Amino acid sequence: MTPEPVAPVRRRGRPRATERADTRERINNAALELFSERGFHATGVAEIGAKADVQRGALYYHIGSKEDLLWAILRDYTRLLLADAERIVEAESDPVETLRQLVRSHVELIVAHRRAVAVHLRDADALTREHAVVLQQLRDRIQRLWQDVIDAGHAAGHLRTADHIVTNGLLGMLNSLGYWYRERGTHSPAEIADILTDTVLSGLRATDDNTKG
């Protein structure tokens, strides 16, 4: 008689990759919620573990430090902004319409990830130099994309200026959404984006371009 195959016995010890990923996601979500509510410095590692239902000893298996959690939150959110900005710039050719799409994307992502935005605005300076430098490089790449679009609009005669102050001011205005946006407000994220874009373009659009659409 042929013996029945024996199922492989799972070794105890290191959890499977999917379990590790699920646990890490719970930890990240717990850290995001606590950091956004209390701030990075006021949140303890034990509190993160308790909220994620992970014992302290196991917690350090999944994270290097509390700062690593902060870094992951800020890095991932900023990468989302960068990736969508790159997509829009590659897809559009008209600089004014590209700028409009950039504003809409930025507003919608800020609203969708407003807890990460709150952490970014309040606690980004808690990063050590290595992480802070990389985060700034990501932010600089986003700003460079926006500046290139505004430069192109100015070169084409559609925008009155390409001064970097405009780019800095526009991004600063949009990032401040994290402070005042309320989910139960009267305007959707898309409507907010349109209002802000129309307001900016009314002052930025070249005079002889105001008669165009």
**What does the domain layout of the chain look like in residue ranges?**
15-64, 66-209
The three-state secondary structure class of 183 is coil
Distance (Å, whole) CA 53 – CA 111: 28
DSSP state of 159: B
159 bridge partner residues: 205
Entry pTM:
0.81
**Among 138, 135, 205, residue whose Cα is nearest residue 166:** 205
User: How much is the pLDDT for 3?
Assistant: 53
Q: Does position 193 have pLDDT exceeding 90, yes or no? A: no
**Which CATH fold topology does 66-209 show?**
Tetracycline Repressor; domain 2 (1.10.357)
CATH superfamily to which 15-64 belongs: Homeodomain-like (1.10.10.60)
pLDDT digits (tens, 9 = 90+) for 1-48: 455 554 444 445 555 778 778 888 999 999 999 999 999 999 999 999
User: How much is the pLDDT for 20?
Assistant: 76
Q: Does position 204 have pLDDT exceeding 90, yes or no? A: no
Please report, for residues 35, 111, 161, 168, 191, the alpha-carbon distance to residue 203 in angstroms, rounded to integers and kept in the order given: 38, 25, 10, 15, 19
Distance (Å, whole) CA 23 – CA 129: 28
Token pair listed for 66? 């509390």
H or E element: which one contains 170? helix 164-175
Give burial (CB, 10 Å; 0-12/13-18/19+) of 148: middle
Say which residue, 15 or 182, is predicted with more confidence: 182
Percent of the chain residues past pLDDT 70, beyond the cut: 89
Work out the pLDDT band at 181, boundaries 50, 70, 90.
Answer: confident
Say which residue, 62 or 76, is predicted with more confidence: 76
H or E element: which one contains 34? helix 17-38
